[in-house]
Amino acid sequence: MIKAMEDKSDNRTEELSKIKDEVVNLKESPLYKERIKNKVFPVIGEGSHHAKIMFIGEAPGKNEAETGRPFCGAAGKVLDKLLASISLDRKEVYVTNIVKDRPTSNRDPLPEEIKLYAPFLDRQIDIIQPKVIATLGRFSMDYIMKKFGLESELQSISKMHGRMFDAKAEYGTVKIVPLYHPAVALYNGSEMETLKKDFAILKEI
C-alpha cells in the first residue's frame, strides 16, 4: 500500500516536471523572448502535489519571474497571511498561474497568451486532482468557470467573490471558489477583511 502511494507521488512529480520542461522551452510564446532577454524564469507552480486546494492566479510579476516562484512578492505575503488566517500551511496547497511567463511591465495577460499557456494549467489540475480550486483575480476566475462549464454563472468578480460552485472534473467532483487577487489588499487595506471572510469558506470546506 505504501509502495503504491509512493509510486503515485513519484508519477505526479514526474508529470509536473515534464510540464516545467515544456514551458522552459516554449519558444513559440512571445513572452519567451522577453524571458531570455531579461534573464528571468518561467513560474510553473509550487506546493504539495497532493494538495486538496489549488490556488490559481493570473501571471507572474517581477519578483516571481526573478525567482521562478509564484506569489513571492508583496501579494504573496498577503496570500501567506490569508492562509495563516485559516490555519493552512502554504506547503499543503498548490499555487500557480494560468500564464507561466511574466507579461511585459506586469500588464494584464492577453487572450492569446492565456490560450497558449492554459493547457499546461489543465494538465496540472488533472495531475494534482484538487478538491477545491480557488481562483485569484478575474482572469483566472473567467477561465476556470468556463473550463468547467459554469459560464452561465459568470458575473463581475465583485459579485462572484467568496461564492462556491460545484463542478465535475475528469477525476471527480471539484468546488470552484472565486476570490479577489491578494494584490487588492495592497491598494485598499480595507479589502483585507473581505479577503479573510472569503478565505473562511475554504476552511469550512
pLDDT band at 106 (very low <50, low <70, confident <90, very high): confident
pLDDT at 5 over 60: no
- Find the radius of gyration of the CA atoms of the chain: 16
pLDDT at 6 over 70: no
pLDDT at 8 over 60: no
What pLDDT score was predicted for residue 7?
A: 52
Sheet holding 53-57, edge to edge: 46-47, 94-97, 53-57, 132-136, 172-179, 165-169
Of 1-10, 26-35, 94-103, 110-119, give the lowest mean pLDDT range.
1-10
Cell numbers 462572484 label which residue? 160
Q: Are strands 94-97 and 172-179 parallel, antiparallel or unpaired?
A: unpaired
Spatial distance between the Cα atoms of 20 and 162, rounded to a whole number of angstroms: 31
> What are the grid coordinates assigned to 79, written together?
496570500
Q: Over range 80-99, report the average pLDDT.
A: 95
Say which DSSP state 93 is in.
Answer: S
> Domain limits at 170?
2-204
pLDDT band at 104 (very low <50, low <70, confident <90, very high): confident
User: Domain of 117: which CATH number?
Assistant: 3.40.470.10
pLDDT at 188 over 90: no
**φ/ψ (deg, to 5) at 9:** -65, -45
Q: Compare 6 and 154 and report the one with higher pLDDT.
A: 154
Give kind and range of the element (H or E) at residue 56: strand 53-57
Give kind and range of the element (H or E) at residue 46: strand 46-47
Q: Over range 43-56, report the average pLDDT.
A: 97
Average pLDDT for the chain: 92
**Domain total for the chain?**
1
2-24 vs 111-128: helix axis angle to the nearest 10?
Answer: 170
pLDDT at 29 over 90: yes
User: Do 198 and 179 touch, CB atoms closer than 8 A?
Assistant: yes
Q: Are strands 165-169 and 172-179 parallel, antiparallel or unpaired?
A: antiparallel
What pLDDT score was predicted for residue 9?
A: 57
pTM score > 0.75 for this model? yes
User: Do 157 and 134 touch, CB atoms closer than 8 A?
Assistant: no
> What are the grid coordinates assigned to 123, written together?
494538465
What pLDDT score was predicted for residue 205?
A: 77
Q: Over range 179-202, report the average pLDDT.
A: 91
pLDDT at 132 over 80: yes
